[in-house]
Chain A
């Protein structure tokens, strides 16, 4: 192709040159297409996993904290109501913690939904 460009031309040479140019144009176009196609493909999964990873992280942490909070609240309320302090708090804080862990496992997809045998 470079030789074709350098040579000064008779007709045959010029048409060969044009053909080579158009072939090159086509190739370049194809490569451009591939690039513009592959770029969003490359970028979108990464950004979407980043975003969903962020959401997942927040979700998992709040699930655990919520379980503990509910357990603590129920324990505290039972203590006040029945006057069995500190046993309600101890038992329900532990149960709440396990509920939080169950929540996290479910949110992470390790275990199935409530009531499932998995």
Chain B
């Protein structure tokens, strides 16, 4: 059986040198991050190049993706949240493209590494904390003090609120990572059943149809998950940013 984990291995492609004893190299992860960004840039620049009043195919994709994210930001964080639109849009497009590229066989999935998703979640978390303190000063701390709570259980509630706040980047990043990782491992395991069953003989050729059709079905599900997880990441980003914009209500 093919090793279902080896697809997540980081391989050095070009070693650039060393900084402080740590190897700096262009890895397959770097390559696919670059491809993701190049793909997004090609879509957006290509789609907005003609600026037709009646949009062509490419331009409508660009316009649809803009409007989709803009509506998400508007509905969850309000119009004050629109100043974070570039952040949310970049995150959404990056995750969507990385996930979609990852579905193509023999590619590397950038978002299947916890450190990548955690870096993005921490970016959102630190943006929320930084903007919250910048905008509201210490008033941002009202986020941790719910109204209408009796004084004698308030310390307990505040600690729980702080813990709940600190757990956000973890759930934010683990969700994306776990979904993508689990989907890819499932695909790999089921796909390795196909040659195994087919190896039995003539009976196996017909038996192999079952795992093969399952692989096709799960690939379709993975396309859905790829989009859904990008959307969930974007919408949670908006919800968290909303706390930074309007704390204490």
Give A residues with C-beta under 8 Å from B: 51-52, 54-55, 58-59, 62-63, 65-67, 69-71, 74, 92, 95-96, 98-100, 102-103, 106, 113-117
B188 contacts chain A at the CB level, 8 A cutoff: no
Residues of B within 8 A of A98 (CB): 160
Residue in A closest to B161 when the chains form the complex, CB atoms: A114
8 more CB-based (< 8 A) A-B contacts, given A52-B228, A96-B167, A117-B148: A51-B224, A58-B232, A70-B163, A113-B243, A114-B146, A114-B164, A115-B142, A115-B161
Q: How far is the CA of A74 from the CA of B145 in the complex (A)?
A: 20
Q: Say yes or no: A116 contacts B249, CB within 8 Å.
A: yes
Q: How far is the CA of A113 from the CA of B245 in the complex (A)?
A: 13
Q: Say yes or no: A62 contacts B175, CB within 8 Å.
A: yes
Interface of B (DSSP majority class): helix
Q: Say yes or no: A59 contacts B143, CB within 8 Å.
A: no
B2 contacts chain A at the CB level, 8 A cutoff: no
Residue in contact with A115 in the complex, picked from B144, B224, B231, CB distance below 8 Å? B144
Residue in contact with B170 in the complex, picked from A70, A116, A117, CB distance below 8 Å? A70
Q: Which of B16-66 contact A (CB under 8 A)?
A: none
B147 contacts chain A at the CB level, 8 A cutoff: yes
Q: How far is the CA of A102 from the CA of B243 in the complex (A)?
A: 16
Residues of B within 8 A of A114 (CB): 143-144, 146, 161, 164-165, 243
Residue in contact with B146 in the complex, picked from A67, A103, A117, CB distance below 8 Å? A117
B166 contacts chain A at the CB level, 8 A cutoff: yes
